[in-house]
Amino acid sequence: FALYAAIITLIYQSYSVYYQSRSINFTIAFIISLLVIFLLLYIDIDYSCVFKIYSFFVWLMAAICVFQWMLLVIGIRIPFNLPGLGYTDSWEQLSSQIFGMNEYPTALFSEKAHFCEYIIPYVAFCLFSEKFVENYRIFKAVIISLLTVMSVSGNGVVLVFLCWGLYFTFFNKFDVRNRMLLFIIGAAVIIISFYILTQIDTINTMLSILFTNNAYGYSKANYRVYRGFDVYSLLPMAQKIFGVGYYNMETFSSINNIVSRYDTTWNIYEYFSAFTQILIYFGALGFIFFIGHIVPLFKNKSNLTHSLVILLIAISLSSEILLQGFHMMYLILILSSIQDKSRNRLFVDAAV
């Protein structure tokens, strides 16, 4: 997949002056990301300390988030951006916001979705692994789940219910009789929890605009999910098969006059979910190559690995994470969850 993606992207970069005018930074960052992922899969790395480091930062973010809520309760909002660090041009709009407390507390993250995507894997570690989290597993999972829901992020709420839904249904170690009882109890807890959340105005408003158009005639699903599939459906057949290259869609659409009914003037044009990024940038062929390194993960018998992969897939359906920091973070966490000493080979054989 990495080789194919690089070739397709470089072909478009050298094909026309229109593509050459695109920032070289995109191509450089893209190649570096591919190399980093390639090295993660090939080099024999000791992942034993990964969860300890990740756990430390999760609870650090949780502590900061709780502190921010305490400030919010007494009516104080202060920025939490790190001193001495500025914003790049593409994130300059953050300078006019109260970083970390712009709407609801998000610790040291600029967006509530990013905060949730960072801490939600910890819930999976708590629910599906006695090795990584030995004590108070359910209690810890509940705390992180509550902080995720309190961020009022649509992604966060969906991911929390997904994690607990997997725990109450498929990925637990109870026998058949107790599993059925757990399923009944879990279903009741999820339904009651969802009902209670819908009675809170902010949560209800957030949930309503996930798939229902707001006052501006737009829903989150429009640009996070539907738009990517619509753009892909408008591509010529050759591009549907081979793709247009990484971050080349805006240029390709202007040359070929491709307009999606979900396009907006206020959203970044190249914002697509990771799932549709693969289809648009690398075509159906690239999508097949990419899926090739996901499927073998389910051959691993670890419920934790399965749950982390499902979380990655769920996030990929709504968020732009392909070959970015969160993509690499989830990959590292997945690798750390695999107990087989030959874990890297499992990925490499399928991915290359």
User: Which among 23-37, 72-86, 188-202, 323-337 has the top mean pLDDT?
Assistant: 323-337
Residue % of the chain over a pLDDT of 70: 79
Q: Sign of the CA dihedral 138, 141, 146, 147?
A: positive
Burial-class residue 139 by CB neighbours within 10 Å (0-12, 13-18, 19+).
exposed
- Provide CB contacts within 8 A for 246, sequence distance 6+: 5, 8, 9, 26, 27, 30, 281, 282, 323
318: closest CA among 227, 233, 224, 245? 224
Phi, psi of 138 (to 5 degrees): -65, -40
- What does the pLDDT read at residue 342? 47
- What does the pLDDT read at residue 209? 65
User: Rounded to the nearest 5 degrees, what angle is found at the Cα of 247, between the Cα atoms of 232 and 9?
Assistant: 95
Write out the two tokens for 127.
Answer: 């629910």
Taking only the tens place, the pLDDT of each residue in 222-248 is 777 888 899 999 999 999 999 988 888
> What is the 8-class DSSP label of residue 299?
G
Q: Sign of the CA dihedral 76, 80, 85, 90?
A: negative
Write out the two tokens for 242.
Answer: 């081979």
* Residue 77 predicted with pLDDT over 80: yes
Taking only the tens place, the pLDDT of each residue in 120-171 is 999 999 988 888 888 888 899 999 999 998 888 888 888 998 998 888 887 6
> What is the 8-class DSSP label of residue 283?
H
Taking only the tens place, the pLDDT of each residue in 160-200 is 989 988 888 876 666 556 667 777 777 787 788 777 777 77
Write out the two tokens for 94.
Answer: 């953050």
The larger pLDDT score, comparing residue 39 to residue 132, is at 132
Burial 321-352 (b: 16+ CB within 10 A, else e): bbbeebbebbbbbbbbbbeeeebbebbeebbe
Q: How many CB atoms lie within 10 A of CB 304?
A: 25
Query: Residue 285: which pLDDT band, with cuts at 50, 70 and 90?
Result: very high
* Residue 348 predicted with pLDDT over 50: no
* Residue 94 predicted with pLDDT over 70: no
285: closest CA among 3, 29, 14? 3
* Residue 352 predicted with pLDDT over 60: no
Write out the two tokens for 162.
Answer: 């997904």
- What does the pLDDT read at residue 226? 84
Query: Residue 3: which pLDDT band, with cuts at 50, 70 and 90?
Result: confident
- What does the pLDDT read at residue 93? 67
Confidence (pTM): 0.83
One DSSP character per residue, 181-198 reads: HHHHHHHHHHHHHHHHHH
33-37, 183-187, 208-212: least confidently modelled range: 208-212
- What does the pLDDT read at residue 351? 40
- Provide CB contacts within 8 A for 160, sequence distance 6+: 120, 123, 145, 148, 149
> What is the 8-class DSSP label of residue 89?
G
